[in-house]
Structure 1
Amino acid sequence: MYIENTGIENIVSDLFILDEIMLQHDLIRGGQWDYERVTYDKKYTLKEGTFYLRVFGFATEGDVDARDAIIQLKKPVIGKHYYPFGVEYGEDEHFPKSLIKDCETTLKKVLVALEKHNLKTV
């Protein structure tokens, strides 16, 4: 499920700044990256299952592996994890309202932190 109108989609930032701000809000850049893309995850374990808030980004300049990249963020998404298959993002998934609210709150806090760095949008 995409989270619409968060304000962070299309923000462009230095990877170092993004890593710091995302980590402050429990969004971890794990192993789901390559030289051109990054994924920040916040994991939620609820009685309804395991969910992830994911913020994707891609390098417009530089190299993610070298930690020298400029990243453009994309629209955030919430997904549900199904063992052993992975995370599903489908619109037919059920996402608890409390989860959606927490994800929106987290994204607002991330946006405020990113705006303090006078980042540009595209």
Structure 2
Amino acid sequence: MKLTDFNFPDKEIRFGSLLDIMRGKGFIFAEQWDYERAMFDLKMPVEGDPGVFYLRVPVFAVDGDIPGDETTVKLMTPILGRHYYPHGVEHGEEENFPDHIVDKCKQLLTSVDEEL
């Protein structure tokens, strides 16, 4: 599910600054990157739900290489997905996301947007 209510797409920021902001909000920057693209993930398990929800914020390099602190990156549209073992994360619009998960994502993204 794309979360389009935010001014993320096309915002540019230094990767080191973005990394600090995202880590402060609980996002991780792990092994899912190359020199041009990266993904910040926030894992949101829900007790009693077989799936695990992930809020993902993709970025791509405009000037420099990821993960350089001085690299300029452009943010893309955030995505909410649900992980199903063993298949992976599904981001489809037909997925039924609980309201409290969507609300939590919107609050986090608003908070990130304010710090950008």
Query: What TM-score do the two structures reach when normalised by structure 2?
Result: 0.93
Percent of aligned pairs sharing the same letter? 37
**Unaligned residue ranges in structure 2 (runs of 5+):** none
Aligned residue type for 2:54: Y
Conserved 8 A contact 2:15-2:67: no
Per-residue deviation, 1:5:
2.0
Q: Which residue does 2:37 correspond to in 1?
A: 37
Q: Which amino acid aligns with 1:51?
A: F
Q: Number of paired residues?
A: 114
> 2:114 pairs with 99, 104, 112, which one?
112
Distance in 2, Cα, partners of 1:26 & 1:9: 21
SS class of match (1:100): helix
Secondary structure of the structure 1 residue equivalent to 2:8 = coil
Distance, in Å, in 2 between the alignment partners of 1:13 and 1:78 is: 22
SS of equivalent to 1:63: coil
Name the residue aligned to 1:11: 11
Residue 35 of structure 1, CA deviation:
0.4
* Cα separation, 1, equivalents of 2:8 and 2:96: 24
Q: Point out the structure with the larger strand share.
A: 1
Where in structure 2 are the equivalents of 1:1-122 lying within 5 Å?
A: 1-46=1-46, 47-48=48-49, 49-114=51-116
Alpha-carbon RMSD across the aligned residues, in angstroms, is 1.0
Given that 2:8 and 2:76 are in contact with CA atoms closer than 8 Å, whether structure 1 keeps it comes out as: yes
SS in 1 for 2:38: strand
